[in-house]
Amino acid sequence: MGEKILLLLGPKHSGKTSAALALAESLRCRCIDLDALIETRTGKTPRTLYREGVEAFRRAEAESLTEVLRESFVADRAASASGGEDTRYTVVSTGGGIIDNGEAVSVIKASASRNNAKRSVVLVFLEVSAKTAWNRICRGVEAGGELPPFLQTETPEETHRLLHERRNRAYKDIASFTVVAERKTEEAIAAEILRRGRFCR
């Protein structure tokens, strides 16, 4: 019995949530959206927390991630004790800015560094261009949403481009592998992750 935790990483609007759902369906496993977990734990949306204070949000994000990894470990030990033999999977969709959360990144790196035959954390980076991500953000604004607080500057598109490109480089540095998600459906992204990671039921 072993467990693989698949952490989907990437900037805002790279398709992590939809790809995570498709991947979890293929693997017949649970899917955790970290932003949704933060809201469940705090009673506030990540955007609300961020507006109230960046450090408060980042603390909640790191604590939620730690909880996910700890619960998976406990569940894996219980399943091993019961004599299960199949690999157990957990798919986790992370927030777009988690790479800028030093405490959360430390948790991710520490978990991945302890990979072994019984339990491993796989970091999958979904890459899209800054232009694609920006267009998706704009469509959300046109549909009645608003720009994230960190993009509410005099030149939001340029602010986004610089942030996006820096984050992409940082995500590539820690990822187990990268999947180019440009112009791909969530099913195609999930299929590529399964193939690249050699994951199967």
Domains, the chain: 2-197 (3.40.50.300)
Per-residue pLDDT for the chain (201 aa), expressed as one digit of tens each?
Answer: 589 999 999 998 899 999 999 999 999 999 999 999 999 999 999 989 998 999 999 999 999 999 998 876 544 444 444 445 578 999 999 999 999 999 999 999 999 999 988 889 999 999 999 999 999 999 988 888 888 888 889 999 999 999 999 999 999 999 999 999 999 999 999 999 999 988 876
What integer pLDDT is reported at residue 96 of this predicted model?
93
What integer pLDDT is reported at residue 81 of this predicted model?
47
Q: Which amino acid, one-letter code, is at 128? A: V
8 A C-beta contact, residue 83 and residue 56: no
Q: pTM of the predicted model, to two decimals?
A: 0.89
- Distance, CA of 15 to chain centre: 10
CA distance 150 to 101: 14
